[in-house]
Amino acid sequence: MVKTLKMPFTPKQTDPRAGPVLAEIEALTREIQTAELVRREKTERRAKLITQARSYNVTLKTLAGILDVTIGRIRQIEAGK
């Protein structure tokens, strides 16, 4: 036997003025998702370039100075963290 769930409230009718606001929320959400994807790709590329620079005997200190971060942060970037 399947139980029918009762709604504990009666849903309100959406105000028609909400349409453009909801559309803008959707558009901004897509933009944020795209920006996050681009950021992730750039972060991965930077980590690969740091690894490549290290293979050319570039020091952690030099990389830290270029990126204005600590040597420990360079190690984290290399590790993909």
Confidence of residue 29 (pLDDT cuts 50, 70, 90): very high
Phi then psi for 17, rounded to 5 degrees?
-70, -15
- pTM reported for the whole predicted model: 0.69
Q: Report pLDDT for 25.
A: 95
Where do the H-state alpha helices sit in 1-81?
18-55, 60-67, 71-79
Residue pLDDT, tens place only, 37-81:
999 999 999 999 999 999 999 999 999 999 999 999 999 998 887
